Amino acid sequence: MSRASATPSFDGRRLRALRKARGLSVGDLSTASGISPRHIWRLESGGRSDLRAATLIRLALALRTSTDYLLGLTDDPGGGDESAGHQPKGQGWKEMS
């Protein structure tokens, strides 16, 4: 059964599992994405499920994955190749806020 037809739904547990698999602390992910540690914690704990597109993109870039993975549309986190993406350092992300 293809998951492509599934309704997108952000699940913070998936975010937390991938962050840990990448060896990142909440602080590391915050620095890489430009998203506050508190907001990341709230997303991971299920305290926030409403997610702006810009936030989703920042998280995906920082975790070297796709937005589809974070939304549960694919089970492949990808991102093993550093050259396939980059890790934002917070600079230049203000315009997306």
What residue numbers bound the domain in which 61 lies? Answer: 8-76
In a domain, 68, yes or no: yes
Question: Is pLDDT of 5 > 60?
Answer: no
Report if pTM > 0.75: no
What confidence tens digit (pLDDT) does each residue in 31-57 have?
999 999 999 999 999 877 678 999 999
72-87 burial, b if ≥16 CB within 10 A, otherwise e?
ebbeebebeeeeebee
Nearest CA to 58 out of 38, 83, 40 is that of: 40
In a domain, 41, yes or no: yes
CATH number of the domain enclosing 18: 1.10.260.40
In a domain, 67, yes or no: yes
Domain count across the chain: 1
Count CB neighbours of 40 within 10 A: 25
In a domain, 86, yes or no: no
Count CB neighbours of 58 within 10 A: 21
In a domain, 83, yes or no: no
Backbone Cα Rg of the chain:
13
What confidence tens digit (pLDDT) does each residue in 10-27 have?
889 999 999 999 999 999
Percent of the chain whose pLDDT exceeds 90: 58
